[in-house]
Structure 1
Amino acid sequence: LYERLGLVQDAIPYFKKSLSFEPDHEFANYDLALIYFDLGEKTIAKEFYIRAFQNNPELRTIVNDTAFHFSKSDLDDPGRIIDPSEDDLNPESIDMTKPQASTVKTVLITGATAGIGLATAKAFLQEGYKVIITGRREDRLRSFSESLDQKTSKSLQTLAFDVRDHKACEKALLDLPKDFQQIDVLINNAGLASGRDSIQEGDVEDWNRMIDTNIKGLLHMTRLVSPQMVKRGTGHIINVCSIAGHQPYPKGNVYVATKYAVDGLTQSMRLDLYEHGIRVSQISPGAVEETEFARVRFHGDTEMAKIYEDYNPLKSTDVAEAILFIATRPPYVNIQDIIIMGTQQAGSTFFDRSGRKYD
């Protein structure tokens, strides 16, 4: 907070206190390097820069080496250091007198206690991102965090709240540690289907649950995260839609309507944000197993939820890989929508149910 208010000297004791508990914390070291650099204490800044990239080599770049006046002779053991690739940067187009902000991107994924959200979190962690996962079930979030090795767990933050509650969303984001507050990629994944009834027999509680989660939850998170992206002039929002947002099906009514809304919002958001350098993308999966979608739709009825026994749908990891692909395109490329289905599905109501051919 002190650093964000510009009171950088007041922030120094807090970062140093963090280092007293965890001396190898790369981002605390890097933040101190930036602070001392701004204060003109270049020698001290360089020492914290060295500590930072020794624990996270991705923080070492040609620009930073030049700005901090770093050379291998500054180290007792230069063999520990990984040289940055000169192909990664074009020094002629960059101010070489100032250190870069952290090059490690942060992604926030809603609805990440299971299924597509959890698979996506794993995919981004494997690629070296810092990842924030959110969900209502704190025990699930904690269990995933505890399953990670020590190094990977440093790149993960968990937030337990309900995206339907705007104030809870706001509070959760304010509680993030400083080195997770800049969100580069927002993945609006939280969503569900509840019930499958004809419109004249529908349950209003089911309707409200879907509308509040699938539409309002996406809006709550986008409203909170997009202003910081606009301010920086960069960012990426990826909405998880559905084939149901392109093709309706019988008894889908309100769920279909919420996903058509996601499709419409994605297109409208893109028009609002593209001039600010922000990419808005969408992925629209068909049927996906390894998720809780069917069980939730049928209110926990496990027998009714057995809908994938006679064909192979997508797996949650298939969708996660596609989301990662969207997020890792060059900055001038925006994948606007990916419609992805298993080979045995040709549309929202067309399935080859002749057996699981691909097991």
Structure 2
Amino acid sequence: MKTAFVTGASAGFGAAICRQLIADGYRVIGGARRADKLAQLEQELGENFIPLTLDVTDPASLDAAVALIHDSSLPIDVLVNNAGLALGIERAQHADAQNWECMIATNITGLAMVTHKILPGMVAANAGLIINIGSIAGTYPYPGGNVYGASKAFVKQFSLNLRADLAGTRVRVTNIEPGLCSGTEFSMVRLGGNHEAVAALYKDVDAISPQDLANTVSWIAGQPDHVNINSLEIMPVAQTYSALSVARNL
């Protein structure tokens, strides 16, 4: 039985990915900060789900989690770097610096450090798949995207550079870049718990769901070992590109 390690596993994309990979026959280690949510998932998913309390922004927490993985003698076949968040929609000149620091710590440093811990084992085994959950925000700028978009641009380039470093090995890397998604805590967190603003964002829009992302992860993981999906961008049909902004009478 293959083993997957999913960060940000307690809700949204992460929980859906855990469910799907277990349905696909994987053993799944689910890492997240909220132990109570992980316990609920363990009760739902059974013995093939292994809860792991983990804060990717805390080096001590990450070291302890990786030590537990190593002690379990379970080689990681698939790493899904899903932990991430957006905070605020203010323009850069009005943004909260603590929000910027948190997004950088989670979306950039956390993702990189988890990868740094797991990657050597994959290289030693000459096998494995890393799936990074990026965003279309890493490609298409928009007002209020500032550091969140920049963090996802890091994920895009980091994924490509991993592929370059892994030349000559059988370790694969994919960056999934979703667009507008509903059914997660993402927008509630970003908008500071403003239920009305969240409802307005998704009003009359058939957005991507966590299961859509889980299906995508499942498809990528199911490709033959000689096939690498470099990147995969997904939007709901209802979403497309905006016109370039033009400010008049400056």
Report TM bin, short chain: over 0.9
Q: Does 1:147 align with 2:44?
A: yes
Report the counterpart of residue 12 of structure 1 in structure 2.
none
Unaligned runs of 5+ in 1: 1-103, 351-359
**AA matched with 1:115:** G
**AA matched with 1:308:** Y
**AA matched with 2:83:** A
Shift of 1:178: 5.1
Q: Does 1:332 align with 2:226?
A: yes
Report the counterpart of residue 114 of structure 1 in structure 2.
11
**AA matched with 1:297:** R
TM-score, L = length of structure 2: 0.93
Report the counterpart of residue 237 of structure 1 in structure 2.
130
**AA matched with 1:106:** T
Report the counterpart of residue 282 of structure 1 in structure 2.
175
Shift of 1:117: 0.7
Tell me which of 200, 203, 213 is aligned to 1:309. 203
TM-score, L = length of structure 1: 0.66
Secondary structure at the counterpart of residue 280 of structure 1:
strand
Tell me which of 105, 114, 136 is aligned to 1:221. 114
* Inter-partner Cα distance in structure 2 for 1:179 and 1:336: 30
* Inter-partner Cα distance in structure 2 for 1:284 and 1:180: 32
Please identify the structure whose Cα radius of gyration is greater. Answer: 1
Shift of 1:180: 5.6
Residues 178 and 265 from structure 1, CA distance in 2 versus in 1: closer, same or farther, beyond 3 angstroms?
Answer: same
Is the 1:295–1:301 contact (alpha carbons within 8 Å) kept by the matching residues of 2? Answer: yes
Report the counterpart of residue 131 of structure 1 in structure 2.
28
* Inter-partner Cα distance in structure 2 for 1:320 and 1:145: 18
Secondary structure at the counterpart of residue 193 of structure 1:
coil
Aligned-CA RMSD value: 1.3
Secondary structure at the counterpart of residue 214 of structure 2:
helix
* Inter-partner Cα distance in structure 1 for 2:57 and 2:71: 25
* Inter-partner Cα distance in structure 1 for 2:60 and 2:171: 25
* Inter-partner Cα distance in structure 1 for 2:224 and 2:74: 23
Is the 1:162–1:169 contact (alpha carbons within 8 Å) kept by the matching residues of 2? Answer: yes
* Inter-partner Cα distance in structure 2 for 1:333 and 1:165: 34
Is the 1:207–1:254 contact (alpha carbons within 8 Å) kept by the matching residues of 2? Answer: yes
Q: Does 1:188 align with 2:85?
A: no
Secondary structure at the counterpart of residue 107 of structure 2:
helix
Is the 2:24–2:218 contact (alpha carbons within 8 Å) kept by the matching residues of 1? Answer: no
Segments of 4+ moved more than 2 angstroms: 176-181
Secondary structure at the counterpart of residue 345 of structure 1:
coil
Shift of 1:274: 3.0
Is the 1:133–1:141 contact (alpha carbons within 8 Å) kept by the matching residues of 2? Answer: yes
Secondary structure at the counterpart of residue 175 of structure 1:
helix
Q: Does 1:321 align with 2:218?
A: no
* Inter-partner Cα distance in structure 2 for 1:108 and 1:198: 35
Bigger RCO (CA 8 Å, 6+ sep): 2
Is the 2:33–2:54 contact (alpha carbons within 8 Å) kept by the matching residues of 1? Answer: yes
